[in-house]
Amino acid sequence: MIAVGDSARSVETTGVPHPLSRPGETKHFTLEGSDELEAHLERTCQQVLARVRRLIPERKLEGLLVGGGYGRGEGGVLKTEAGDRPYNDLELYVFLRGNNFVNQRRYQAPLHELGKRLSPPAGVEVEFKVLSVAKLRRSPSSMFYYDLVAGHHRLWGEESLLSGCGHHRAAERIPLCEATRLLMNRCSGLLFARERLECAEFSPVDADFVERNLAKAQLAFGDAVLTAFGRYHWSCLERHKRLKSLKMPEALPWWSEVQRHHFSGVDFKLRPRRVAASRAALLDRHEELSSLGLQLWLWLERRRLNRPFDSARDYALSSVNKCPETSGWRNALLNLRTFQLSVQLNPGSWRYPRERVLHALAWLLWQREESEESELLRCVGRELRVVVRSFSDAVAAYTAFWRQFS
């Protein structure tokens, strides 16, 4: 395991159009990957840059950043008999001049196709997201923007590319709703893992999927607590240091378990591995983490919404606005676009649709064994505005809705 406090080696990259020396920029992709792996990732990035420049006119291309774990210099290193291999997705952020909505409509699909062509030689999924510097500058603080601005690998663009984005470097400004969003996404991963565990056939690929999502949940539980106390940090190693030294203002029975799981999550993030665990062993771990996730979820939502919730059922049925930070009229327009003519002018029309995801997740992940199947399917269908006839149908409907509002 990687001991917290180990220093990252210094790996110089070559062939990058601009020097990587400004705060927030990294010169390496991993903490302890081999020189061969670093060279492979650098070549991949240069190939990405060349193809992006071929696709997008130079007058439009303002910058290209590597984000995610590799952008922050803490990418996963998969140890194999053939040497070190990449493991995490390679996340690329394409900054384009002009209207961000128009640019997304014009370039997101071609970039998605480019990512599919570049993924096989890269050895991992290559993903692109279209952004604009203007949008980044005016956007409020979020975990996503903080992670990108605070730690990235610049492949193209002026050193001043992210000037005016300093507010995204202040982790203490990340709102509490971002901790809920993080938990929602990682607990959704637990839901998807549960579905894999229940399939008739369970392959090594399925086992890897389950292990990866369990590890992401382990990491996210501690990260959510840090966010709640304004102590989040872009480095997972630094986050674990902070989690170990964090003094909780109240006695919580699950606190030591969150700390323990966070260490395991950090270790897997930096040194992932293909598991040989049985379905039964993975299911036991899944049940442990799901139970812990519920305790943390209820604690966080009580803190965020200033209202106690006794159970997942109580949370899902509560009429309290789960996304009070959002604008009512924008939510009404978003509901109209999402549900079209099926939406009616009622109190729910002014709520952010992500609230439906939060409710459906509570039913599917934590109330399945506690409820009659007919009630569970009816409640999930009501939240997602679809008819579901089985748990599998409900998860499929949830997945589609979650992808829109995650």
Mean pLDDT value across residues 108-114:
97
Mean pLDDT value across residues 344-358:
83
Q: Which of 309, 332, 351 is the last residue of a domain?
A: 309
> Is the model's pLDDT at 302 over the cut of 50?
yes
Q: Which of 148, 171, 194 is the last residue of a domain?
A: 171
Domain count for the chain: 3
72 in the same domain as 118: yes
Q: What is the mean pLDDT of the chain?
A: 91
Cα-based distances in Å from 116 to 44, 47, 94, 127, 259: 13, 14, 16, 8, 37
CA atoms within 13 A on the CB side of 276: 0
Q: What is the model's pTM?
A: 0.89
In a domain, 155, yes or no: yes
189 in the same domain as 147: no
- Output the pLDDT for position 341: 55
Q: Give the separation between CA 330 and CA 336, rounded to whole angstroms.
A: 10
- Output the pLDDT for position 17: 33
Query: Do the strands 61-66 and 83-86 form a parallel or antiparallel pair, or are they unpaired?
Result: unpaired
What is the per-residue pLDDT across 215-267, written as a single tens digit (0 to 9) for each? 999 999 999 999 999 999 999 999 999 999 999 888 899 999 999 999 999 99
In a domain, 7, yes or no: no
What is the per-residue pLDDT across 11-66, written as a single tens digit (0 to 9) for each? 233 223 333 334 478 789 999 999 999 999 999 999 999 999 999 999 999 999 99
220 in the same domain as 274: yes
Mean pLDDT value across residues 82-96:
96
Task: For residue 361, give both structure tokens.
Answer: 């997740």
126 in the same domain as 39: yes
In a domain, 194, yes or no: yes
Categorize the per-residue pLDDT at 342 as very low, low, confident or very high, splitting at 50, 70 and 90. Answer: low
211 in the same domain as 93: no
In a domain, 3, yes or no: no
186 in the same domain as 159: no
Residue 62's domain spans which residues?
Answer: 35-171
SS3 labels along the chain: CCCCCCCCCCCCCCCCCCCCCCCCECCCCECCCCHHHHHHHHHHHHHHHHHHHHHCCCCCEEEEEECHHHHCCCECEEEECCEEEECCCEEEEEEECCCHHHHHHHHHHHHHHHHHHHHHHHCCCEEEEEECHHHHHHCCCCHHHHHHHHCEEEEECCCCCCCCCHHHHCHHHCCHHHHHHHHHHHHHHHHHHHHHHCCCCCCHHHHHHHHHHHHHHHHHHHHHHHHHCCCCCCCHHHHHHHHHHCCCCCCCCCHHHHHHHHHHHHHHHHCCCCCCCCHHHHHHHHHHHHHHHHHHHHHHHHHHHCCCCCCHHHHHHCCCCCCCCCCHHHHHHHHHHHHHHHCCCCHHHHCCCHHHHHHHHHHHHHCCCCCCHHHHHHHHHHHHCCCCCCHHHHHHHHHHHHHHHC
- Output the pLDDT for position 8: 38
Residue type, 7: S
296 in the same domain as 226: yes
404 in the same domain as 360: yes
Mean pLDDT value across residues 346-355:
84
167 in the same domain as 48: yes
> Is the model's pLDDT at 387 over the cut of 60?
yes
Q: What is the CATH number of the domain that holds 221?
A: 1.20.120
> 10 Å Cβ neighbour count for 340?
8
Paired with 93 in beta bridges are 65, 129
- Nearest to residue 316, comparing CAs of 334, 297, 344? 297
- Output the pLDDT for position 343: 54
Residue with structure tokens 């991963």?
Answer: 189
Categorize the per-residue pLDDT at 99 as very low, low, confident or very high, splitting at 50, 70 and 90. Answer: very high
- Output the pLDDT for position 345: 57
In a domain, 24, yes or no: no
In a domain, 78, yes or no: yes
In a domain, 23, yes or no: no
333 in the same domain as 301: no
- Output the pLDDT for position 19: 32
- Output the pLDDT for position 251: 87
Q: What is the CATH number of the domain that holds 39?
A: 3.30.460.10
Residue type, 240: H
In a domain, 326, yes or no: yes
Q: Which of 171, 197, 232 is the last residue of a domain?
A: 171
- Output the pLDDT for position 249: 83
Categorize the per-residue pLDDT at 7 as very low, low, confident or very high, splitting at 50, 70 and 90. Answer: very low
Q: Give the separation between CA 145 and CA 49, rounded to whole angstroms.
A: 22
Higher local confidence (pLDDT), 207 or 7:
207
Q: Give the separation between CA 64 and CA 159, rounded to whole angstroms.
A: 12
- Output the pLDDT for position 35: 96
Task: For residue 224, give both structure tokens.
Answer: 């959510």
Contacts 24+ apart (CB under 8 A), 251-257: 252/299, 253/295, 254/292, 254/295, 254/296, 254/299, 257/292
279 in the same domain as 241: yes
Categorize the per-residue pLDDT at 277 as very low, low, confident or very high, splitting at 50, 70 and 90. Answer: confident
81 Cβ neighbours under 8 A, 6+ residues apart: none
Mean pLDDT value across residues 85-108:
96
Mean pLDDT value across residues 172-180:
96
298 in the same domain as 191: yes
What is the per-residue pLDDT across 313-331, written as a single tens digit (0 to 9) for each? 999 999 999 999 998 888 8
Task: For residue 287, give both structure tokens.
Answer: 């049940």
Torsions phi, psi for 177 (to 5 deg): -65, -20
- Output the pLDDT for position 344: 58
